[in-house]
Structure 1
Amino acid sequence: MRSVLVDTTIFEATGLTKQYGIAFALQDINMIVRAGDIYGFVGENGAGKTTLMKIIGGLVHPTSGKISLFGKDDKNQLDLVRRQIGFLIERPALYPHLTAEENLIFYCQIYGINDPNRITDVLQAVNLTNVGKKKISDFSLGMRQRLGLAVALLNDPKFLVLDEPINGLDPSGIVEVRKILEYLANEKKVSILISSHILSELQLLATKFGFIHKGRLIKEISADELLKSAEKQICIRTPDPEVTAQILKDELQIEYITISETEEIQIPKENADLEKVMSVLLQRGIQIQGINLSTPNLENYYMDLIGGSNS
């Protein structure tokens, strides 16, 4: 197992800008991924996430600004240190008429990897040791994504760059990929930059978040800061939320009650006691369709951010 200094900078962007004609894909991005980070990259389609990842991989060149990888920023040095990075950008490039092992043999030849045990190791890491001679054309989407991750792991990377690795997976496939990434981060000390539209899943995995909107990085926040950023709320679902909200205001003298777009009643935890709320609802014969105590939510945080950003 490799040991990596906690304060080591794995990736840094300084004033990074990518322009196509008059349109900006990225504008003045300043961003750091440090050793040990699982950096969740959050943004809408077209926000610039994939462009930045392609710049890290050398597939796209910035218009201005610069990047460094493992402290290196010279072009020749960047080409060398990219060998320490595993990439899964968009869909994995796999040969459908070959088996998993044959695909990995091909990529070993491309990367100049001669270790005969490496293919077995990466198949084991992504739980694909039992696929035998099955062709890729017969793989499920989840199996293809895991094989794509195996390709990204062939060079034993210190840094993984993953663009939507759980896109299109069923719930069990999503959980499986999350467990693989947690193992790589916690046991193998691999730093990870990952984007996903499934923000609830990203919140379970990431230790740090960067929010990009229309090519601009508008906020960075740690997972701990996210949890402290919003108060817990009592969330209630009833057939008539407006009437129920008014009853709670009158009976418990609660001033601040909101009704969300999904018609969920939301009360800050500090403004009400859950047992008293339940008692009032039962006494007044209010039908309760659901009640729970919510915690800060990455999706809500992101929507609040872009709602308040320049659009």
Structure 2
Amino acid sequence: MIRGVFRLKPAVFEARNVSKQYRSGFALQGLDMKIMEGDIYGFVGENGAGKTTLMKIIGGLVQPTDGRILLFGQQGKKELCAARRRVGFLIEMPALYPHMSAEENLTFYHHVLGIRNPKRIGEALRAVALTDTGNKRTSEYSLGMRQRLGLAVALLGSPQLLVLDEPINGLDPAGIVDMRHILERLAKEEGVTILISSHILGELQLLATRYGFIHKGSLVQEIAAGELLKSAQAMICIAAPNAEKTAELLKQRLQIPDISVNTAGELQIPKASVDLERLMAVLLQEGIPVEGFNLSVPNLEHYYMDLIGGVKR
């Protein structure tokens, strides 16, 4: 019998003990991080945590004070410069010429970036669904259209890694969904690895396959999306009067010790530990009115807040 060879995916990006110090203090401190080929890596952290600083280091816009980075296994000034040609960047707002159309903007960047294949202009426009904008000036574009055009600029060089800093910031719901679908297609159909930061954690949870949590310049944890879902259990949340008293009563009647009251004053009961019909029957028998009822599923935002709550310093 011929056995298949299992090949580990290579690391597209690595940060090894990376620090960046300014006069005001450390933006990054001893950061270790790894992004594997095929990841959609959700980079999660509060404002000022160091996300944009690391992205600028990847792009060569900022130099680390200490430590080193590797791109596609390459390190050293000359090697990193060559490796960056395989990376597309959308950091902060895209720099677009407002009097130009989408195609004219891409034509300009096509020459600036030294891209030899002219077909990439049309391909990039198709990738972000901007082929029907004609001669419309970008000054007339919605924020979502400008973000998509900025992404098209990042795609001109057929990158193997996309670095996206808050690409859905300020977008309306339709624009957010459009951007998510574009990134999913790039990852699944074209095999592009993506590093993406966002404050909209619910949306990031729909997209990312792996997460890195950064807090005050240090990477607190890396975790796969599947592991995150397994780490938290679904909870039945019930709004009822006298929550603390009701919790104690239910613990006795249902023989479930881990019933608690959350910060919103709701009863929290692990879904796996209770029969829903039995629960409702006890509430009815005791004359406890149910003012609200919902199921809380594993949540990226809650996971992050619980995580940094244990590492505050």
Task: Give TM class, smaller chain.
Answer: over 0.9
Distance 1:264 1:128, change over 3 A: farther
Question: CA offsets per residue over residues 20-66 of structure 1, 9 Å max, x none?
Answer: 12600000111111101111111000000000000000000000100
> Deviation at 1:116?
2.7
In structure 2, the partner of 1:72 is 74
Which deviates more, 222-231 or 109-118? Answer: 109-118
In structure 1, the partner of 2:293 is 290
- Counterpart CA distance in 1 for 2:137 and 2:120 is 20
Question: CA offsets per residue over residues 161-215 of structure 1, 9 Å max, x none?
Answer: 0000111111111111111111011110000111111111111111111111000
State the SS of the aligned residue for 1:27. Answer: strand
Contact 1:42–1:195 under 8 Å retained in 2: yes
In structure 1, the partner of 2:234 is 232
Question: CA offsets per residue over residues 268-297 of structure 1, 9 Å max, x none?
Answer: 1233222222333345362342322x3221
In structure 1, the partner of 2:125 is 123
Matched letter for residue 124 of structure 2:
V
Distance 1:62 1:236, change over 3 A: same
State the SS of the aligned residue for 1:108. Answer: helix
State the SS of the aligned residue for 1:236. Answer: strand
In structure 2, the partner of 1:279 is 281
> Deviation at 1:259?
2.0
In structure 1, the partner of 2:3 is none
State the SS of the aligned residue for 1:187. Answer: helix
Task: Give the alignment of 1:127-146 within 5 angstroms.
Answer: 127-146=129-148
Task: Give the alignment of 1:14-163 within 5 angstroms.
Answer: 14-21=16-23, 23-163=25-165
In structure 1, the partner of 2:189 is 187
> Deviation at 1:145?
0.8
Matched letter for residue 106 of structure 2:
L
> Deviation at 1:250?
4.5
- Counterpart CA distance in 1 for 2:31 and 2:167 is 23
- Counterpart CA distance in 2 for 1:102 and 1:6 is 42
Contact 2:236–2:293 under 8 Å retained in 1: no
Contact 1:86–1:157 under 8 Å retained in 2: yes
Matched letter for residue 224 of structure 1:
G
Contact 2:240–2:288 under 8 Å retained in 1: no
Matched letter for residue 290 of structure 2:
Q
- Counterpart CA distance in 2 for 1:267 and 1:281 is 13
For structure 1, the 5+ residue unaligned runs are none
Contact 1:43–1:49 under 8 Å retained in 2: yes
Matched letter for residue 54 of structure 1:
K
Contact 2:55–2:91 under 8 Å retained in 1: yes
Give the number of aligned pairs. Answer: 306
Task: Give the alignment of 1:232-311 within 5 angstroms.
Answer: 232-238=234-240, 241-242=243-244, 244-283=246-285, 284=287, 286-292=289-295, 294-311=296-313
Which deviates more, 234-243 or 122-131? Answer: 234-243
> Deviation at 1:239?
5.9
State the SS of the aligned residue for 2:29. Answer: strand
For structure 2, the 5+ residue unaligned runs are 1-6
Which deviates more, 109-118 or 134-143? Answer: 109-118
> Deviation at 1:256?
2.1
In structure 2, the partner of 1:8 is 10
Which deviates more, 280-289 or 83-92? Answer: 280-289
Which deviates more, 73-82 or 113-122? Answer: 113-122
- Identity among equivalent positions (%) equals 61
- Normalising by structure 2, report the TM-score: 0.92
Question: CA offsets per residue over residues 120-151 of structure 1, 9 Å max, x none?
Answer: 11111111122122111111111111111111
- Counterpart CA distance in 1 for 2:246 and 2:294 is 13
- Counterpart CA distance in 2 for 1:139 and 1:91 is 14
Matched letter for residue 258 of structure 2:
Y
Give the one of 196, 199, 204 matched to 2:198. 196
- Counterpart CA distance in 1 for 2:247 and 2:125 is 54
Question: CA offsets per residue over residues 237-281 of structure 1, 9 Å max, x none?
Answer: 346644543553353233222222223321112332222223333
- Counterpart CA distance in 1 for 2:226 and 2:195 is 18
- Counterpart CA distance in 2 for 1:212 and 1:48 is 7
